[in-house]
A and B are shown apart, each in its own frame.
Chain A
Amino acid sequence: MNQHAARPQSSPKPKPGRSAPKAGWRQLAETATSALRRPFAKATRRRTPIVPPDNVAGRAMVLVIAIMTFLSCLTLGAVTLVRDTAATWQTQIAREATIQIKPDENLDIDAALQKAREIAGEFSGVLQATIVDNEATARLLEPWLGTGLDMEELPVPRLVIVTIDPREKPDFESMRARLSQEVPSANLDDHRTWVDRLVAMARTTVTIGLSVLSLMLVATALTVIFATRGAMSGNGHVIEVLHFVGAEAPYIARQFRRHFLLAGMRGAAAGGLAAIIVFVLFSWWSARNVATPEADQASALFGNFAIGMSGYMGVGLIVCVIAILTAATSQFTVISYLKRIET
């Protein structure tokens, strides 16, 4: 640097031929030890990142991202469960039709039931037709009429359960026509009214769920943006110094983008993992409480709380999107800040 300034003193070198035989092993050990320490010393002296470690605002940002990701993933999981359950409802209720035969003084009810079953079985798309016997009929009426029911004394309609192949629905109109000809007292109920109502309800439920999910995702995005800008606001001085020492704008943006991508990923991964744990716990609880009233009610609405591969992939997608959004926000903020300080 300066010809007139004192040159740095070089380290004193050992004079040759001074090592004694007895100290040879010790010297060798010391040399080996210091040689071993040297790479570790270099390895531990890592360069400090240019972007300062997280301050209070930065840690708050990570926490907020984790919470919003958790809520978004919960919402996604709930919507997935409702959608899958609604699809199951539709499939299950569309799998059966009922032939109802009212009793009559002049009617041999058992023969009528057999005839109705045979007719139903002849149509393609019918997997099987089963007569509901007296004991089963009594069990159906038990919640209303109690036990010990004598079916012979009550004019209770008898049922034939027709199981349908959901892929190939039978011609109900033709079946109805044939039944009215050959078993006049029979009435075919294909549950169409109920199916239509259920489909409408299921679609409405899924639509509401998707709307809630959309709102959740928008709220999450806005929260991530504002939290990131808040965390960035404490780093204005770093951006200025980098700018003044001649760092190019893409370099500055890259440093912050990397920092905030990792921070966003940390928060989002924590939130996503917490949501997955909640689903696993619910699924475990559901499995342990099978056949209890609470489990029956819950499983009627949400199935068995198994969100399936699509749910897990959705969680992964939300985590990635939030991390990318955090990085993109920091990039945009850096570029805006640089434009402001450089007129």
Chain B
Amino acid sequence: MIRLENVGLRYGMGPEVLRDISLNIPERSFQFLSGPSGTGKTTLLRLLFMSLKPTRGLITIFGKDRARITREELPHIRRRIGVVFQDFRLLDHLTTYENVALPLRVRGREEASYRNDVTDLLKWVGLGDRMHVLPPVLSGGEKQRAAIARALIEQPRILLADEPTGNVDPQLARRLLRLLIELNRMGTAVVIATHDIGLMDQVDARRLVLSGGRLDVYE
């Protein structure tokens, strides 16, 4: 589904942050992307999300060469990729419901066409009774679940989560992990960037370890 071949990336004229990254993310796969802080986990995720271009190497996303994807095609491909950020990135002036519905709203869809889907999804992640509150009122865990729901509302083929449990307590972190595992069982590939060893030990899954800009894959 997403393939990286000898990918390298540098910022400006500095040293390469990522070097010789070769990686294949199959459909319905589940993996952790780990490594110490500053090793380039977020950078690699941004490459997968097409927010950055590699300075060398080949990236193939859903069968398309990243270098040949035009600016106009990017949003359409991006809709098949869900992203969850460590800092949630919810819009504080929109309610939980409106934040989750945002990807559908920007497509131009009528609210009546997606109201039930959004409501069902919010109930699924446990926010059924928090639909019409603003994000500042939500707890950290609720915000993260809202962010996950927003990433899932368009049923993406892959979900990229950047430190999704970074701002929550261990108990809630386990609950979020179970949510992501459930999501994977339903057919979405999942990549979780984390430096939390304890979290990774709870699941028997592939580990992509970044160190010194290089990637090692442990199946």
Contacts and interface: CB of A to CB of B under 8 A. Distances in A.
B124 A246 contact: no
B82 to A, nearest CB: 9
A103 B46 CA distance: 102
B105 interface: yes
A237 B124 contact: no
A341 interface: yes
Interface stretch (B19-27, B29-37, B92-100, B193-201): B92-100
A238 interface: yes
Contacts of B150: 245
Contact of B120 (A8, A244, A245, A246): A8
Contacts of A238: 91
A343 B123 CA distance: 37
A237 B91 CA distance: 8
B121 A246 contact: no
B42 to A, nearest CB: 13
A292 interface: no
Contacts, number: 68
A237 B98 contact: no
A343 B52 contact: yes
A56 interface: no
Given A1-B120, A5-B124, A241 B91 contact: yes
Contacts of A341: 51
Contacts of B111: 47
Nearest to A244: B83
Interface stretch (A141-149, A247-255, A307-315): A247-255
Contact of B124 (A2, A50, A244, A343): A2
B71 A2 contact: no
A87 interface: no
Interface residues of A, number: 24
Contacts of A241: 89-91, 102
Given A1-B121, A238-B91, A241-B91, A246 B103 contact: yes
Given A1-B120, A2-B182, A8-B120, A52 B93 contact: yes
A53 interface: yes
Nearest to A238: B91
B145 to A, nearest CB: 14
Interface string A7-48: 010000000000000000000000000000000000000011
Interface residues of B, number: 34
B51 A342 contact: yes
A240 B124 contact: no
Contacts of B52: 343
A248 B75 contact: yes
Contacts of B90: 241
B106 A244 contact: no
Interface in A151-208: none
A301 interface: no
B186 A343 contact: no
B157 interface: no
A48 B75 contact: no
B53 A343 contact: yes
A243 B194 CA distance: 24
A86 to B, nearest CB: 54
A52 B106 contact: no
Contacts of A53: 93
10 contacts: A5-B124, A52-B92, A237-B91, A242-B102, A246-B103, A246-B107, A248-B75, A248-B106, A251-B106, A341-B51
Interface of A: 1-2, 5, 8, 47-48, 50, 52-53, 237-238, 240-242, 244-249, 251, 341-343
Given A5-B124, A50-B94, A246-B75, 17 more contacts: A2-B124, A48-B98, A52-B91, A53-B93, A241-B89, A242-B102, A242-B106, A244-B89, A245-B102, A245-B150, A246-B76, A246-B103, A246-B107, A248-B106, A249-B71, A251-B106, A342-B71
